[in-house]
C-alpha cells in the first residue's frame, strides 16, 4: 500500500530519505546534510533521531530487512496449489512497492559493503528455508539445487532493479505496471517451473 509522504512520521521520512540517497548515490556519497535536505528537516533533527550516520545506516538496514522478510512471512508455499506462482507474485509486489530497498542492497553489494553482505546473508538463509520446505515436501524436481534456487530467488529481483534504466531503454517503456506483471510471468516460466514439478502434490 502506498503511503503519502505527509502521513509518515518524521523518523520515517528521514529514514526513507536516507534509503533513497544511499540507493541512488551510495552510502559514502550521501551525508547527513543530504538526507536532511531531502527529508525537509535540519541536520540537527537527523542527529536527534539517529545520532550518527552509522545509526542512520543501521536504521535503514533494519527497515530493508523487515521489508524483504515481511514480504514472505506467514507464507507456507508447499501447501499452496502453485507455490511458484505465489512466490513470483510476492517478489513482484516487493519490486513494485519497494524498489529503493532492493536498489540499496544491489548498490551496496557492488560497493563491497559488509553491512549489505550481512543483509544478503539474511535473505539467503530465509530463502533457502522456504525452498528446503518445498523440497522436503516433495514439491520440487529431485535434481533441483536448493542452494542455487534460493540464490536465484534473491538475485533476480535485486539485479532487475539495478538494471532498471537499461531494461526501460530496451523496452521503450517504464518498468512498472503491466511490464512488472510481464516480468513476473516470464521469470516464473524461465526459473520457477524449471524447479517446481506441478505433478507432485504436498505430502500429508
User: Which H or E element spans position 21?
Assistant: helix 10-25
Confidence of residue 54 (pLDDT cuts 50, 70, 90): very high
Among the listed residues 54, 68, 63, the one whose alpha carbon sits nearest the alpha carbon of residue 11: 63
Higher-confidence residue of 89 and 201: namely 89
Query: Residue 7, SS3?
Result: helix
Of 6-15, 79-88, 154-163, minimum mean pLDDT range: 79-88
Whole-Å CA distances, 182 to 2, 13, 27, 156, 176: 21, 32, 32, 14, 10
Percent of the chain with pLDDT over 90: 57
- Residue 152, pLDDT above cutoff 90: no
**What cell does 202 get?**
504436498
Model confidence pLDDT, tens digit, residues 166-202: 999 999 999 999 999 999 999 888 776 666 655 555 5
Amino acid at each position: 500500500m502506498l503511503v503519502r509522504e505527509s502521513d509518515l512520521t518524521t523518523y520515517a521520512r528521514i529514514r526513507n530519505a536516507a534509503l533513497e540517497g544511499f540507493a541512488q548515490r551510495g552510502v559514502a556519497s550521501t551525508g547527513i546534510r543530504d538526507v536532511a535536505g531531502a527529508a525537509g528537516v535540519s541536520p540537527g533533527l537527523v542527529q536527534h533521531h539517529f545520532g550518527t550516520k552509522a545509526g542512520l545506516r543501521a536504521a535503514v538496514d533494519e527497515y530493508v530487512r523487515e521489508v524483504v522478510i515481511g514480504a514472505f512471512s506467514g507464507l507456507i508455499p508447499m501447501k499452496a496449489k502453485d507455490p511458484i506462482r505465489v512466490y513470483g507474485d510476492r517478489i513482484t509486489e516487493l519490486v513494485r512497492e519497494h524498489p529503493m530497498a532492493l536498489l540499496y542492497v544491489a548498490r551496496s553489494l557492488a560497493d563491497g559493503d559488509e553491512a549489505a553482505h550481512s543483509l544478503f546473508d539474511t535473505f539467503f538463509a530465509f530463502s533457502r528455508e522456504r525452498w528446503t520446505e518445498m523440497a522436503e515436501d516433495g514439491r520440487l524436481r529431485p535434481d533441483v539445487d536448493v542452494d542455487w534456487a534460493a540464490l536465484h530467488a534473491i538475485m533476480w529481483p535485486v539485479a532487475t532493479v539495478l538494471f532498471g534504466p537499461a531494461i526501460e531503454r530496451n523496452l521503450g517503456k517504464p518498468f512498472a505496471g503491466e511490464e512488472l506483471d510481464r516480468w513476473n510471468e516470464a521469470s516464473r516460466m524461465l526459473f520457477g517451473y524449471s524447479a517446481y514439478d506441478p505433478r507432485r502434490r504436498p505430502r500429508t
